[in-house]
Structures are given as structure tokens and as C-alpha cells.
């Protein structure tokens, strides 16, 4: 088994074990609570584990540079802690997905109903009183909040085996910064969906870039890199170099996601075609489109993006408009430029060559993904 495959298996096992422990605790309170764990566990069973992998290989690549004197016992403890840290990042990511799907009113996640839709269906199937929709909202908010707490629990437990207090403090700082920044990005995203029509079109790309940076780029790529490197005792210069690699890669990652959200194959992405358009997402792709449109057509696009209920013909109109304004081509060029910037920065980083190659391969998967 490869080192990557072994890590992914250990992370999955830790998440499964954690959920089973919580299931036992919740069952003791009330059998009704096992549903919460079921929905959590099902969401944790899938995904590409990019965050876990970036974190691990940043740690492995930094270790020989920052802490070459670790003995076998210390290394074994650090490796076990790294599995816990990676699991915590995956738990945090899953929590963010629960809240993100609710905020975006997205009905599916990885080809299955999103958590708020699962709670809604449970309400309807059970014949309970009140509103199924409100129950779905309440359930998903609580599950997302619970998973945020569980991610901190996993992270804190993993740090009990930190090599020293300085490293522990540095990791906690990076984890805290990640949590704050992604919430800031989430709010800016929601704000832009609602306020874009009242703001200058000429500033739309800049606003979309800010959302992209904080909602996705930093927490998806940069933060895992910095947490992994910090756990290996990285110096500030190495952390800055990893940021120079991670941020443009994270931006390219989100731009690719934006394209998939409009033009992706539902059988591959697990979401309906044009889902981002139905959700009214004000992405860079949309901002570039709006920037190129005359005022009259721009108003039509704005109205469609705020409608939330679009049929296939309207989705097709928006897709053709994005292509005709060259917004799609511009976004593809931006991805290429950001990818080149990221890979060039990686080449300059002083770290274990094998780990650096793993990071390069991960970066290429992020850039060229189809789902």
C-alpha cells in the first residue's frame, strides 16, 4: 500500500471510529440522536481528501528540513498526530459543506440529497407536524455546528502529541485563522448574491476574487499546507513559500469549481447542470460575463440569477451568454496563469523532493479535475 493510500485509510478509520464513539454517547441520551451521527458519517465517507493530503505532504516535506533530529518514537507519535489533524480538517470541511449547501439552497451533494434535504425528507416520511422545510434548516444548522465542534475536538486531541508547546501554539493559530477566514468568505459570498445588483459592475470581478480567496482558496489549500508545515516546526520563510504555492492554487481550484458549477456533467459532478446559476452564485465567471454585457442584457442576466427557479432554456441562455462574452475563455486562461504561478512557487521551496513531487501531483489533480 502506498503512503498516500495508507494515510487515507487511517484518516477514514479515525473518522469512522470517532463517529461510532459519538453514536454510543448520543444513543445513551436518546435513540433519536443517532440520525445526526448517520448523516454526519455518510458525508464523511466520500470526497477527494485534498485537505488531508496537502496537510500531510507539507508536514512530511518540511520534517526533514525543520526537525531532522526526530527519533523513531517521536516520528511515530507525530505520524499518529498528523492522521488526527488530517481527520480534523476533513471534519471541518464536511461541516462547511453542510452550511454551504443550506446557504446556497443546494439540494444535492455528491449525487445524494444534501443534509437539509435529508432532514426535510425525514420529517415528511415520519408525518410530523410543522414545516418540513424549517425542520430541514434547523437540523442542518445543528449538524453543521456539531461537526465544527467535533473538528476542534479531533484537532485538539491530535495536538496532545505535539513535539513542543511552540509547535502546538502555531498549529492552533493556523487552525483558528482558517475558521475565521472561511466564515468571513461565506458571509461575503451571501452578501454578494444579494447585493450585487446594487453595486458597480466594474468592481464585480474584484469582489468575486475576494470571496474566492477567503471562502475557498485559503482554507482548501493554504491552511492545510500551513498547518502541516507548522506541525513539523517550519520557519516563517518556509510558511511564506508555501502560501505562495497554495494561494494561487486555491484560486485556480475555485475557478475550476465555478466552471464545473455551470458547465459540469451532472453524472460526474453529482449536482444538476447549471446548479451555480440556479443558486445565483456571483463567481468570477459571472462577474466577467456581466462586465462584458451591455446594460440592458446585463439586467436580464441579473434578474435570472436572482430568480432561483430556472428552467433548462434559461440555463442554456446563461451558458451561451457566458461563452459568447469570452468569460469562459478568460477564466480558463486565469486558471492556467494561476497554475503556472503556483507550480513555479513550489519549485522554489526547499523541502523533501519526494514530498514535493507528491504536492506537484496533487496540484495537477486540483487544476485538471472534472468534478
**pLDDT tens digit string along 53-63?**
999 999 999 98
Residues of the chain with CATH 1.10.600.10: 1-45+71-162, 165-371
- What mean pLDDT, rounded, does the chain reach? 93
Cα dist. 87→51, 300, 308, 310 in Å? 9, 45, 35, 38
pLDDT tens for 193-202 read 899 989 999 9
Cα dist. 145→40, 254, 297, 314 in Å? 11, 24, 41, 36
CATH fold for domain 1-45+71-162: Farnesyl Diphosphate Synthase (1.10.600)
Cα dist. 325→66, 331, 370 in Å? 49, 11, 23
- pTM, rounded to two decimals: 0.93
Nearest by Cα to 228 from 15, 57, 3, 75: 57
Give the angle 52-58-59 at the CA atoms, nearest 5°.
Answer: 90
Question: Is the pLDDT assigned to residue 105 strictly greater than 70?
Answer: yes
pLDDT at 111: 78
Using only C-alpha atoms, the chain has a radius of gyration, in whole angstroms, of 21
CATH class of 165-371: mainly alpha
Q: What percent of the chain clears pLDDT 90, i.e. is strictly above it?
A: 81
Mean pLDDT over 349-359 rounds to 94
Judge whether 177 and 223 are in contact, CB under 8 Å: yes
Strands (E) located in 77-229: 108-109, 112-113
Higher pLDDT among residues 272 and 345, named by residue: 345
pLDDT tens for 311-352 read 899 999 999 999 999 999 999 999 999 999 999 999 999 999
Please state the separation of Cα 262 from the chain's center in Å: 18
Judge whether 191 and 25 are in contact, CB under 8 Å: no
Amino acid at each position: 500500500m502506498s503512503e498516500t493510500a495508507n494515510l487515507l485509510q487511517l484518516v477514514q478509520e479515525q473518522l469512522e471510529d470517532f463517529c461510532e464513539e459519538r453514536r454510543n454517547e448520543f444513543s445513551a441520551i436518546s435513540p433519536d440522536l443517532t440520525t445526526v451521527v448517520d448523516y454526519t458519517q455518510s458525508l464523511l465517507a466520500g470526497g477527494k481528501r485534498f485537505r488531508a493530503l496537502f496537510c500531510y505532504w507539507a508536514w512530511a516535506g518540511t520534517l526533514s528540513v525543520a526537525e531532522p533530529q526526530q527519533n523513531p518514537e517521536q516520528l511515530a507519535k507525530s505520524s499518529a498526530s498528523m492522521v488526527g489533524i488530517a481527520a480534523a480538517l476533513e471534519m471541518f470541511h464536511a461541516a462547511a459543506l453542510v452550511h454551504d449547501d443550506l446557504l446556497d439552497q443546494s439540494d444535492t451533494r455528491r449525487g445524494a440529497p444534501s443534509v437539509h434535504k435529508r432532514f426535510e425528507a425525514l420529517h415528511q416520511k415520519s408525518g410530523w407536524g410543522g414545516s418540513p422545510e424549517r425542520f430541514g434548516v434547523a437540523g442542518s444548522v445543528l449538524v453543521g455546528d456539531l461537526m465544527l465542534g467535533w473538528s476542534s475536538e479531533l484537532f485538539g486531541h491530535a495536538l496532545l502529541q505535539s513535539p513542543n508547546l511552540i509547535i502546538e501554539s502555531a498549529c492552533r493559530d493556523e487552525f483558528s485563522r482558517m475558521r475565521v477566514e472561511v466564515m468571513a468568505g461565506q458571509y461575503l459570498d451571501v452578501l454578494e448574491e444579494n447585493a450585487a445588483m446594487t453595486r458597480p459592475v466594474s468592481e464585480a470581478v474584484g469582489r468575486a476574487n475576494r470571496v474566492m480567496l477567503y471562502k475557498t482558496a485559503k482554507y482548501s489549500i493554504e491552511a492545510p499546507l500551513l498547518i502541516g508545515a507548522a506541525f513539523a516546526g517550519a520557519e516563517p520563510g518556509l510558511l511564506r513559500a508555501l502560501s505562495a504555492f497554495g494561494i494561487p492554487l486555491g484560486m485556480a481550484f475555485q475557478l475550476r469549481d465555478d466552471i464545473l458549477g455551470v458547465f459540469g456533467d451532472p453524472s460526474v459532478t453529482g449536482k444538476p447542470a447549471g446548479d451555480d446559476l440556479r443558486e445565483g452564485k456571483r463567481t468570477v465567471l459571472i462577474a466577467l460575463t456581466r462586465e462584458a454585457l451591455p446594460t440592458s442584457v446585463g439586467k436580464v442576466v441579473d434578474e435570472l440569477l436572482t430568480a432561483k427557479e430556472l428552467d433548462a432554456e434559461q440555463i442554456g441562455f446563461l451558458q451561451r451568454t457566458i461563452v459568447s462574452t469570452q468569460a469562459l475563455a478568460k477564466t480558463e486562461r486565469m486558471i492556467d496563469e494561476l497554475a503556472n504561478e503556483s507550480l513555479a512557487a513550489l519549485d522554489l521551496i526547499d523541502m523533501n523532493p519526494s514530498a514535493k513531487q507528491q504536492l506537484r501531483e496533487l496540484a495537477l489533480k486540483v487544476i485538471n479535475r472534472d468534478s
